[in-house]
């Protein structure tokens, strides 16, 4: 591993100027070259599990923009698929799952799960060979609460009504589901690190709106358990955690889970985060994807604000959520120029 890579320096607690940059969902529908490859694939799951196609679209934004990191093209819902749950994607609607009852999990099993996920390891191996030496390779997985939300709700859910009820009503049974997800997620991250991922990331996209006792139980506890399992396997790769929408609970998450770096969404106050989080904690994110869509002077102002705010801290430039399909590719060119410019 090249320890001089900018992103790895930041994750060791160093301040790097200009900051390294990559974007969540940087391989995606905003790029015409991505859409061309996507049109050749029978369905989204097959696309994610096709090492040649997945590695190609992972490399596309690196060729076009020269990001400092490349995140493997995959999806957080590959883990429930690997456990035996039916998962599919509907155009214009997103992911759909055959909803599970947390009290009836006999049809789900970690046995053979890594066989289903092995193509992601193959993709990572290809990427380690093909990526520029300065580019850091990131592997990832969905965190148990977020994946459980999709599994119980049968898809995305703004209020998480069914999964919240399940978590409160029968904690022991719900914890059985979380335990299953902790095991498969840890195994999956270990496999990715062994296949070549230099950094790992946990996405908890549905962390918003949980009262403290539930946040501690379904977000902090499972995250800590996964990281302990990964470390026990001898994996030393930095781990970035992203509990989107956690608000003040970002502090406890950073302190109690064992993460190396913390990704912040665009809704959290920058002023608050700078005061509340440890100065030596590597931080990532915060740019509103809507600002990237708007571009121009507004984008320039926001990049300047974030760079100035975090200039004395270990900081990775990124969005506060994934890039949207309607972003003009030239706006990403503008973003790259702004971030890579000399200090303001």
Domains of the chain: 27-286 (3.20.20.210)
pLDDT by residue (tens digit) across 205-236?
999 999 999 999 999 999 999 999 999 999 99
Catalytic, out of 38, 64, 128, 173:
38
Catalytic, out of 68, 75, 175, 204:
75
Strands (DSSP E) found in 143-291: 199-204, 239-243, 261-264, 283-285
pLDDT by residue (tens digit) across 131-148?
999 999 999 999 999 999
Q: Which residue has the higher pLDDT, 60 or 158?
A: 60
Based on the residue annotation, tell me whether 224 is a catalytic residue of this protein: no
For residue 221 the two structure tokens come to 């506890």
SS3 (DSSP) at 74: coil
Query: Which pLDDT does position 158 carry in this prediction?
Result: 85
Whole-angstrom distance, CA of residue 35 vs CA of residue 29: 6
**pLDDT-derived band at 260, boundaries 50, 70, 90:** very high
Based on the residue annotation, tell me whether 250 is a catalytic residue of this protein: no
Query: Which pLDDT does position 1 carry in this prediction?
Result: 57
Average pLDDT score over residue span 83-90? 96
Helix axes 144-153, 161-169, angle to 10 degrees: 110
In 277-316, where does DSSP find H-type helix? 289-294, 296-309
**pLDDT-derived band at 69, boundaries 50, 70, 90:** very high
Whole-angstrom distance, CA of residue 168 vs CA of residue 163: 9
Our CA angle for 139, 142, 144, nearest 5°, is 135
Based on the residue annotation, tell me whether 29 is a catalytic residue of this protein: yes
Query: Which pLDDT does position 91 carry in this prediction?
Result: 86
Using the predicted structure, report yes or no on whether residue 344 has a pLDDT greater than 60. Answer: no
Based on the residue annotation, tell me whether 340 is a catalytic residue of this protein: no
Catalytic, out of 30, 65, 150, 188:
150
Neighbours of 208 (CB within 10 A): 17
Based on the residue annotation, tell me whether 217 is a catalytic residue of this protein: no
Query: Which pLDDT does position 99 carry in this prediction?
Result: 95
């Amino acid at each position: 591993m090249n320890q001089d890579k900018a992103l790895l320096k930041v994750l060791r607690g160093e301040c790097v100027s200009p900051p390294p940059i990559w974007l969540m969902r940087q391989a995606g529908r905003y790029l015409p070259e991505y859409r061309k490859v996507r049109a050749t694939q029978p369905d989204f799951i097959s696309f994610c599990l096709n090492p040649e196609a997945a590695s190609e679209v992972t490399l596309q934004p690196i060729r076009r923009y020269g990001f400092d990191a490349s995140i493997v093209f995959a999806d957080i819902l590959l883990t429930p698929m690997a456990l035996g749950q039916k998962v599919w994607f509907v155009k214009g609607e997103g992911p759909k799952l055959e909803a599970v009852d947390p009290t009836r999990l006999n049809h789900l099993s970690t046995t053979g799960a890594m066989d289903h996920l092995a193509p992601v390891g193959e993709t990572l191996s290809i990427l380690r060979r093909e990526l520029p030496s300065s580019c850091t390779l990131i592997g990832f997985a969905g965190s148990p609460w977020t994946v459980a939300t999709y599994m119980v709700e049968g898809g995305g859910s703004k209020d998480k009504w069914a999964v919240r009820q399940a978590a409160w009503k029968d904690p022991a049974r719900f914890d059985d589901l979380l335990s299953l997800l902790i095991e498969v997620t840890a195994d999956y991250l270990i496999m990715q690190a062994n296949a070549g991922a230099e950094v790992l990331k946990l996405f908890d996209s549905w962390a918003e709106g949980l009262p403290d006792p539930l946040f501690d139980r379904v977000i902090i506890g499972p995250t800590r358990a996964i990281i302990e399992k990964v470390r026990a396997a001898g994996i030393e790769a930095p781990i970035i955690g992203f509990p989107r929408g956690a608000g003040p609970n970002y502090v406890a998450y950073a302190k109690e889970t064992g993460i190396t770096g913390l990704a912040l969404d665009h809704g959290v106050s920058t002023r608050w985060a700078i005061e509340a989080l440890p100065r030596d904690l590597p931080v990532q994110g915060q740019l509103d994807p809507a600002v990237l869509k708007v571009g121009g002077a507004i984008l320039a102002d926001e990049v300047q604000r974030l760079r100035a705010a975090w200039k004395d801290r270990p900081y990775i430039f990124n969005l506060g959520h994934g890039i949207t399909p309607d972003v003009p590719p030239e706006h990403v060119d503008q973003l790259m120029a702004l971030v890579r410019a000399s200090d303001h």
